[in-house]
Structure 1
Amino acid sequence: MSSLPNQRGRSDSGYDLSLSDTTEKILKVIESYGMHEKSHSAPGQTGWLGRATFGPIIEKHVLEGKLIPMVLPSFPWKSINRIDKVLGTEPDLGEELALARVNDLCRSVQRVYEPGAMVVIATDGLCYNDILGIPDEDAWTYGSAVRALAEERGYSCIRFVRLMNLLGIHNESRISKQKYLSLCGMARRELALRYGDPSFDADAFLKTDEDYMRTYLGYSKFLTKDLAYSSVMTYLASRKKYKAKVKAIGKEMIAGGVAYAKLIREVYPDYVPVDRLEDLVGIPDEEYYDYGVELRALAARKDFNFIRFLRLSDLLPCGDSIELSKEAYLGSVPGLREQLETDFLDKNFDVEQEIRSNPDTKITYEGYVKLADEDLRWSSTLDKEVLSTPPLYDEAAKEVAKGMIKRLIAYENLIRQKFATAIRLSIHPSTGKSKISVPLLPHDTKSRGTPWHSSIVVLANGEIRPGHSKEYREKYELIQKHGKPYYFREKNQIFELEVPIEIDYEYEGLILKKTTSEPLILNKRDEEKLAELILRFRSVRALGFDVSEINFT
Structure 2
Amino acid sequence: MPSHIEPETPPSPNGRFNTGLHTDVMETSQRILDIIFRYKSPLPKNASDRSDEGAIKFLGQIYRFVKMNKAVRMAMPAFPFKSPNSTMKVLGTLPDKAEDVALAHLNGLCGAIEDVYPPGAVLVIVSDGLVYNDLLGVPDNTVWKYGQALRELTKARNYSHIEFSRIKDLLAVPNIHEETDGMAYAATASSIRLTLMNRYGSHDWDDTHNNSCGDHHENKQLTYCAYLKFLELDLAVTYPICEERSKSKFKRGVEKIAKSMLKRGEAFARAMRENFQDHVRLSIHPSTGEDKISINILPLEKTMTPWHNTVAFKLDGTLIAGHRHEFQQMDDMELIHEDGRPSYFRERSHVYTWATPVTFEPIYPCGIMIQPAQGTKYRSISNVEAQKVRELAVWNSPVVLRGFTQTRNRDKFVAKAYELGTPTPWKFGLVLEVKDHGEESQGLNNVLSKEWMPFHFDGLFKTTKTIREDGSEHLVPVPPHFQFFAAVSPSPKNTGYTLFSSSKLLFEHLPEDKPLSQLNALTWSVSTASFDQSVIRGMPLITSHPSTGKPCLRFHERWPQKKTRFDPTDVEIEQGDQSPRPSQEPEHDRSVSSSISSASPDLQAAVDEPSQSQEYSAGDETVFRDINNHRTPPPATKVVTPEVPSIVVLTVLSRIPESSRYSVDIEAAYSEGYDPEHPENYRRYIARFTAWSPYYRAKEYQYRPMPEMLDVQILNHRLKWVLPDVGEAPRLFKEIASTTTPR
Shared fold by TM > 0.5? yes
Match of 1:465 in 2: 320
Contact kept, 8 Å, 1:386 with 1:392, in 2: the verdict is: no
User: Structure 1 residue aligned with 2:119, among 115, 127, 130?
Assistant: 115
Match of 2:250 in 1: 393
Match of 1:497 in 2: 354
3-state DSSP class of the match of 2:197?
A: helix
3-state DSSP class of the match of 1:477?
A: strand
Query: Mapping of 1:348-363 within 5 angstroms?
Result: 352-363=211-222
Task: Please list the CA deviations of residues 368-395 of structure 1 after superposition, one character each: whole Å capped at 9, or x if unmatched.
Answer: 110012221111x5562365x3333222
User: Structure 1 residue aligned with 2:308, among 427, 430, 453?
Assistant: 453
Query: Mapping of 1:514-553 within 5 angstroms?
Result: 514-515=371-372, 518-521=379-382, 526-537=385-396, 539-544=398-403, 549=417, 550-551=420-421, 553=609
User: Structure 2 residue aligned with 1:513, among 359, 370, 373?
Assistant: 370
Q: Matches of 2:42 and 2:329 in 1, distance apart?
A: 34
User: Structure 2 residue aligned with 1:26, among 18, 28, 32?
Assistant: 32
Match of 1:61 in 2: 65
Contact kept, 8 Å, 2:285 with 2:294, in 1: the verdict is: yes
Task: Please list the CA deviations of residues 288-309 of structure 1 after superposition, one character each: whole Å capped at 9, or x if unmatched.
Answer: xxxxxxxxxxxxxxxxxxxxxx
Task: Please list the CA deviations of residues 140-198 of structure 1 after superposition, one character each: whole Å capped at 9, or x if unmatched.
Answer: 11111111111222223211111112111378776332321111010000001001112
Instruction: Quote how far apart the aligned CAs of 1:111 are.
Output: 0.7
User: Structure 2 residue aligned with 1:106, among 99, 104, 110?
Assistant: 110
Match of 1:35 in 2: 41
Instruction: Quote how far apart the aligned CAs of 1:114 are.
Output: 1.0
Match of 1:374 in 2: 233
3-state DSSP class of the match of 1:509?
A: coil
3-state DSSP class of the match of 2:345?
A: strand
Query: Kindly, what percent of the aligned residue pairs are identical?
Result: 32
Instruction: Quote how far apart the aligned CAs of 1:137 are.
Output: 0.9
User: Structure 1 residue aligned with 2:281, among 415, 420, 424?
Assistant: 424
Instruction: Quote how far apart the aligned CAs of 1:39 are.
Output: 8.4
Contact kept, 8 Å, 2:335 with 2:342, in 1: the verdict is: yes
Contact kept, 8 Å, 1:509 with 1:538, in 2: the verdict is: yes
Contact kept, 8 Å, 2:360 with 2:371, in 1: the verdict is: no
> Structure 1 residues 125, 409: closer, same or farther in 2, change over 3 A?
same
Q: Matches of 1:29 and 1:149 in 2, distance apart?
A: 25
Q: Matches of 1:519 and 1:538 in 2, distance apart?
A: 22
User: Structure 2 residue aligned with 1:146, among 144, 147, 150?
Assistant: 150
Instruction: Name the larger-Rg structure.
Output: 2
Contact kept, 8 Å, 2:65 with 2:72, in 1: the verdict is: yes
3-state DSSP class of the match of 1:87?
A: coil
Contact kept, 8 Å, 2:317 with 2:362, in 1: the verdict is: no
Is residue 77 of structure 1 aligned with residue 86 of structure 2?
A: no
Q: Matches of 2:82 and 2:105 in 1, distance apart?
A: 19
> Structure 1 residues 10, 425: closer, same or farther in 2, change over 3 A?
farther
3-state DSSP class of the match of 2:285?
A: coil
Task: Please list the CA deviations of residues 420-448 of structure 1 after superposition, one character each: whole Å capped at 9, or x if unmatched.
Answer: 11111111112222111111112x212x2
Match of 1:230 in 2: none
Query: Mapping of 1:214-225 within 5 angstroms?
Result: none
> Structure 1 residues 81, 455: closer, same or farther in 2, change over 3 A?
same
> Structure 1 residues 514, 141: closer, same or farther in 2, change over 3 A?
closer
User: Structure 2 residue aligned with 1:182, among 168, 187, 204?
Assistant: 187
Is residue 17 of structure 1 aligned with residue 41 of structure 2?
A: no
Match of 2:93 in 1: 89
Q: Matches of 1:540 and 1:393 in 2, distance apart?
A: 49
Is residue 439 of structure 1 aligned with residue 296 of structure 2?
A: yes
3-state DSSP class of the match of 1:405?
A: helix
Q: Matches of 2:276 and 2:189 in 1, distance apart?
A: 22
Task: Please list the CA deviations of residues 331-355 of structure 1 after superposition, one character each: whole Å capped at 9, or x if unmatched.
Answer: xxxxxxxxxxxxxxxxxxx962243
> Structure 1 residues 13, 19: closer, same or farther in 2, change over 3 A?
farther
Q: Matches of 2:369 and 2:42 in 1, distance apart?
A: 36
Instruction: Quote how far apart the aligned CAs of 1:41 are.
Output: 7.0
Query: Mapping of 1:195-210 within 5 angstroms?
Result: 195-201=200-206
Q: Matches of 2:199 and 2:108 in 1, distance apart?
A: 35
Instruction: Quote how far apart the aligned CAs of 1:540 are.
Output: 3.5
Q: How many residue pairs are counted as aligned between the two chains?
A: 391
The one-letter code of the counterpart of 1:521 is S
Q: Matches of 1:377 and 1:414 in 2, distance apart?
A: 31
Q: Matches of 1:408 and 1:198 in 2, distance apart?
A: 14
Higher relative contact order (CA 8 A, sep 6+): 1
The one-letter code of the counterpart of 2:403 is G
Match of 1:243 in 2: none
Q: Matches of 1:506 and 1:194 in 2, distance apart?
A: 44
Q: Matches of 1:411 and 1:185 in 2, distance apart?
A: 15
Q: Matches of 2:400 and 2:112 in 1, distance apart?
A: 21
Q: Matches of 1:531 and 1:10 in 2, distance apart?
A: 63
Which structure's residues are more often strand, by fraction? Answer: 2
Task: Please list the CA deviations of residues 88-129 of structure 1 after superposition, one character each: whole Å capped at 9, or x if unmatched.
Answer: 111100111111111111111111111111111100000001
3-state DSSP class of the match of 1:394?
A: helix
Coordinate RMSD, CA, aligned: 2.7
Q: Flag as ranges the 4+ runs of structure 1 deviating above 4 A.
A: 9-12, 38-43, 170-174, 545-548
